[in-house]
Structure 1
C-alpha cells in the first residue's frame, strides 16, 4: 500500500508519518518511509529541495518552482517509492504530487488544469492508495513551527522562498488540500491536529490505516472531528476574557506544555506572571524568552532569577530595555551569552550600551556588534560598519542599518544590494527614503512578507497602497499597522477582519482600549470564541492596554515589543 501524508508546514505530518511507520513495523508490516526522520531518502531529491528553498533565488518563477518540485517527487518515486512497492512493502511519503498542486495551484495561483497533466507524467500513473491530510489551524501551525525552531535552537531571521510570500500562502494551500479531499473522499482521510493529544492522534491514525490494510471499510473521512461548542456555553466577552484564556491555557498545558508557555509570550499582568512562575523551573528558556517586551518589575525580577539557567534567552528578552537594571544584567550575562547580549542592544545608544560594544570589539566580536547596531546613526556606529565592510560582513552591515534614515545610510544600502537584497530590505523598517521605496517596488512580487513588514508605522500614501494591495493575499499587511490609530489603519483592520482575525487583533497591541478596539475584539470573540490564537491575541491586547493605562504617561512606549507570531 502507498500512503501519503499531506498538510501545511507545521501541521505535524512529518511527526505523525514517522510515528505511523514505527508503529506499523512493530505490528509486523514491512514499511519504507520515503522521508524517514524528516529527511528525503533520495540524495538527488534533497539537493533539489535545497534549491527550491533558497531565498536568494528571488527570480525563480512559480512555474520553475513547480517543475523542480515535480523533479524532486519523480526522483523519490523512482528511487524509493516504486522499489518499495515492488517489494510488497507499505510505502509512506511525507508530501507527494498533491503538494505541488496545492502549492503551485492553490498557493501561487497557477491554473490547476495546466498543472495536472504534468503531475500525471511525473507520477507514471502511480498515485497513493490512501492520503492522510493532517489539518490544522494555520495560526496554530505557525506557533508550533516557531516553537519547534526555538526548542531545537534553530532560531534565524531567514525565510524560505515560501516564507517570503507571507502567511497567506499557508491559508491558500490548506484550502486547496481540503478541496482535493472533498472531491475524493474514498482516497483521503482528514486528521485534525488542533486540540487532541499526540498519543490519541497516533492511535486513531493507526486504527484507520490498519483498517485499510486489512480491507475493512473506512466509515468516516474526518477521523478526529472538530469539537462542537456546548449549546449552553456563555459567550466570550472582554469581561470574561481573562478567565476563558487561562482556562484554555490549562487545557493546552495538559497536552502541549511547551506551547502553553509560549502562548504567554509578551503578556503583562499579575495573572500571566503567576503562570510564568509555575512554568519557570520546567521551561526556563521558553519562560525567559517569552518576557521580551515586558518592562514591569516582576518580569525583571524573574529575569534575574533565570539568568544562570537560561542566559541567552534572558539576554534576548532585554531587547528594547535601556534602564540601569537591564544594563547591569547585560554586564552579568555577557560572558555566558555575548551574541544575544549584543543583539539586545538594538536602538540603544546609551553609554552602557556603547561600553559593551567597545568591549566586544576588543574581544573580536564585530559581527555580533553589528547585529545589535540597529537604529544607531552616530559616528561610532559608522566606524563599526566600515570595519564590517572591510571584513565583507555584508549581511550583518545591512542588518545594522535597520531603521537608520538619511543619505549616508541609503548610499551604503545601494552598495550592499548586490550582496544581500533581503537584508537590505529588512533594514528599511519604518523608513520612507528613495532606496526604501525603490526596493519595495522591485521586491513586492518576490518578497511580499518582508516588503509589508518594512512598512511598520509608516503613514505615507505609498505605504497604504502597498498594504491595501497586499492585505487580500497575506496577513503581514495588518502586521504593519501595529499600534496605529488612524482612519486608514482601522479601515484596513475591519475590511480584512474575516480573513486575518488574529492579526487584526495583534495589531491593536499598544493602543488604549477605546470604543473601536473594544468593538473589534468583541466581534472576533463572538465569531470565534474558542479558537486558541484568537483568545491569546485578544487577551494580550487587553492585558497590554490595562498595563499601559496604569503607567505614568511619560513611560508609555508603543510598538517596541517583539511581535508574537500568531
Structure 2
C-alpha cells in the first residue's frame, strides 16, 4: 500500500508523515518511509533535489525544471518505492510526482497538455492508494519555516531557487494541490492543519491508514475548518487574532511567539511575558525595531537567554537608542559577531569606533554591516577585508561573493558595480538583493532582465522608489506577486491606491500592511472593513488589522512620552 503526503512547504507534511510511520511500526506493521526524517532514500534523488533548490541555477527554465523534478521523483520511485511495495505492508512517501505537476502547472504556468504526458510517463500507471493533502494557510506555513530557520540557522544559501518567485508561489501551489484533490476525491483526503493539534492529527491519520490496511473504506472524520463570521472592525479583528494566538500558546507556542512579532500594546506585552521563558529566541526576535519601554524591559530580561536575537532586534529606530548602545557594550566581548551585525547600516561615530575595535577579529560581520554606506571609510574596510581573502579574484568564490553583496546592498558607485559583475556567476540572487533602492540605469537593466525568474528579489529592490518606472514594473506583475505591495509601504497618491485596490482581494493582508499609517485614514478604514468582510478566515489579514487597531493607543503613548 502506497501512502503519499502532499502539501506546500511548511504545511507539516514531513513531520506528520514521519510521525505516522513510527506509529504504524509500533502498531506492528512493516513500514518503509522513502523520505525518512526529511532526506530522500535515493542519493541520486537527493542530489537532484539540491540542484533544483540552489539559487545559482537562476536561469533554469520551467520545462527544464519540470524534467528535473520528474527525474528526482522517478529515480526514487524506481530505486526505492517500487521495490519497497513488494516487501513492506505500507510505503510512505513525502511528496510524489504531483509535486512536479503542481509546480509546473500552477507555479510556473505550463499548460496541462505539456505536463501530464511527462508525469504519466514517469509513473507508468502507479497510483498511490491514498494521498493526504496537508492544507494550511500559506502565511502559517511560511511562519513555521522561518521559525525553523531562526532556531536552526542554515549556513547555506539564504533562499531556495523556488523561493525567489515570492509569496505568490505558495498561494498558487496551494490552489494547484486543492484542484488535484477536487479532481480525484476518491483518492485524495484534504486535511486542515491549522486549528488541530499535532497529536490529534497523528492519531487520526494513523487510524485512517490502519483502517485501509484492514480493508476498510476511507474515513470522513477529519476536522473541518470552523465557521467564521466576519469581524466588523480592526478592533474586533484584533480580538479574533489574539484568540487564535491564545490557542497556539498552549498547542504551538513557537507559532504564537512568532505572530506577536512587531506588534505593540498592553495585550501583546502580556502575552510576550507569558511566552518569554518558553520561547526566548522567538520573543527576542519579535522585538525587532520596537522602542517602547516594555520592549527594553523584555530585552534586558532575555539578553542572557537569547543574546544574539536580542542584539538582532536593535534595528530601525531601536538601533541608536542609548539602551541599544548599553546592550552592545555589555556584550561586546561575549558575542562580538552579533554586536558587529547589529551595526547594520549605522553611520554614527559610535558605530564606526565599534567597527574599528571589532574588525581585526571579526572582519566579515563588520564588512556586512556596511549596508548602504558608500563613503571612503566604508570602502577602506571593504578593500582591507577583500585583500585578506585573496583580492578581487576571491569574488568568484560563492561564500565571499555573498558576503560582499550583503556589504554593498544599496550602494550605487563604480566599485560596487565591479563587485556585482564579479559576483554574478556564483551568486546571482545575492547580486539582485543589492539593488534595493537603487535608481540607476544599470540597476534597472538588471531588474528588467530577471524580473520573470526572481520576481520577489526584483520587487523587494523597489522599496522606497516612487517614480514612473518603479510603478510600471510593479504593475507589470499583475496580481501574481504580494511583494509588489510591500515595495511601496506607506506611500500615498493615486497610483498607489489604484494598485492597492487592484491587488486587495488577492493579497488582503499585504494590502493593509502597504498602507502603513494611512490605514488610520477614512479611506484606509473603509478598505480594511471591506476586506475583513470578504476574507474572514485570512489569518494574515487578521494580524495586519490587529496592528492597525493599536495605532490610537500608540499615538497616545507617543504624545505623552
Q: TM-score range by the shorter chain?
A: over 0.9
Structure 1 partner of 2:533 = 526
State whether residues 58 and 428 of structure 2, in contact with CA within 8 Å, keep that contact through their aligned partners in structure 1.
no
Q: Are 1:426 and 2:456 matched, yes or no?
A: no
Report how far residue 487 of structure 1 moved: 2.0
8 A Cα contact 2:6 2:94, kept in partner: yes
Q: CA deviation at 1:129?
A: 1.1
1:164 corresponding residue in structure 2: 164
Q: Aligned with 2:225: secondary structure? A: coil
Q: Is the 8 A contact 2:512 2:519 kept in 1?
A: no
**Residue deviations 1:20-68, cap 9 Å, x none?**
1111111111100000111101111111111110101111111111111
Corresponding position of 1:354: 352
Between the two proteins, the alignment pairs up a number of residues equal to 549
For 2:479 and 2:156, the matched residues in 1 are separated by 27
Q: Quick one: distance in 1 between partners of 2:524 and 2:49?
A: 44
Q: Which stretch of the first structure deviates more once superposed, 193-202 or 147-156?
A: 147-156
Deviates more, 1:33-42 or 1:383-392: 383-392
CA distance in 2: counterparts of 1:3 and 1:140, whole angstroms: 25
Q: Are residues 1:4 and 2:4 paired?
A: yes
| C-alpha contact 1:315 1:337 (8 A) present in aligned 2 | no
State the distance in 1 between where 2:552 and 2:163 align. Answer: 31
Q: Any unmatched runs of 5+ in structure 2?
A: 395-399
Q: Higher helix proportion, which one?
A: 2
Unaligned runs of 5+ in 1: 556-566
What is the CA distance between 1:405 and its match in structure 2? 3.7
Question: Aligned equivalents of 1:507 and 1:226: distance in 2?
Answer: 29
Q: How does 1:109-508 map to 2 (within 5 A)?
A: 109-154=109-154, 158-220=158-220, 223-229=222-228, 235-320=231-316, 321-363=319-361, 365-390=362-387, 391=389, 392=394, 393-508=400-515
User: 1:166 touches 1:448 (CA, 8 Å); kept in 2?
Assistant: yes
- DSSP-derived class of the 1:209 partner: helix
Note the alpha carbon deviations across 1:287-313, whole angstroms, 9 max, x for none: 111000101122112112211111000
Rounded to whole Å, the distance in 2 between the matches of 1:65 and 1:366 is 38
Q: Following TM superposition, by how much is the alpha carbon of 1:552 offset from its aligned partner in structure 2, in angstroms? A: 6.0
Asked if the contact 1:138/1:171 (under 8 Å) is kept, the reply is yes
SS in 2 for 1:131: strand
**Maintained 8 Å contact 1:510/1:545:** no
Partner Cα separation in structure 2 for residue 71 and residue 84 of structure 1: 19
Contact (CA 8 Å) 2:230, 2:532: kept in 1 or not?
A: no
Return the TM-score normalized by structure 2. 0.93
Deviation at 1:89, TM superposition (A): 2.6
Q: Offset at 1:446?
A: 1.3
Distance 1:198 1:64, change over 3 A: same
Please report how far the alpha carbon of residue 508 of structure 1 lies from its aligned counterpart in structure 2 after TM superposition. 2.6
CA deviation string 1:143-178 (max 9, x = no partner) = 111112222233877111110111111111111111
8 Å CA contact 2:6, 2:96 repeated in 1: yes
The Cα shift of 1:193 comes to: 0.5
Q: Secondary structure at the match of 1:465?
A: helix
- Pick closer, same or farther for the CA change 1:267–1:471 going to 2, 3 Å: farther
Q: Secondary structure at the match of 2:438?
A: coil
Q: What TM-score does the superposition give when structure 1 sets the normalisation length?
A: 0.93
Within 2, Cα distance between the matches of 1:263 and 1:453? 22
Residues 73-102 of structure 1 show CA distances to partners (whole Å, capped at 9, x for unaligned) of 111111211111111431110011111111
Cα distance in 1 between the residues matched to 2:247 and 2:83: 45
CA contact (8 A) 2:230 2:535 kept: no
For residues 408 and 47 of structure 1, what CA distance do their matches in structure 2 show?
37
